[in-house]
Amino acid sequence: MDHFKKKLKRRNIDAAMIRVQSTYTYFVGTKWLRPALLVPAEGDPVLFAARGEEEELANRTWINNIVMFTDGGDLMAKVFRYH
């Protein structure tokens, strides 16, 4: 994760939103039906979980910051809020 964040900084990118299953699994450590991971160039990553999935996801990953969303519009609104 640190190497990826350094690349973001070098390219003047504030954050990356990971929605591709293979990349998400690489960073998070588990497969997930609706992958959504925000990796900021500075600070801790944020996982987004559909309502009702937060607890199970928390038990399967090392990432502590998990935010619940209800639908695609809510997800994007929360991504912008965290970035």
* Beta-ladder partners of 17: 38
Q: Is residue 67 a contact partner of residue 78, using CB atoms and an 8 Å limit?
A: yes
What pLDDT, on the 0 to 100 scale, is given for residue 4?
Answer: 95
Q: What is the pTM of this model?
A: 0.87
Structural domains for the chain: 2-82 (3.40.350.10)
Helical H segments across the chain, by residue range: 2-10, 21-28, 54-58, 72-82
The count of other CB atoms within 10 Å of the CB of residue 53 is 16
Distances (CA, A) of 2 to 27, 31, 73: 11, 21, 29
| Residue 28: predicted pLDDT | 93
The answer on pLDDT for 60 being more than 80 is yes
The pLDDT confidence band at residue 23, using thresholds 50, 70 and 90, is very high
pLDDT of residue 83: 64
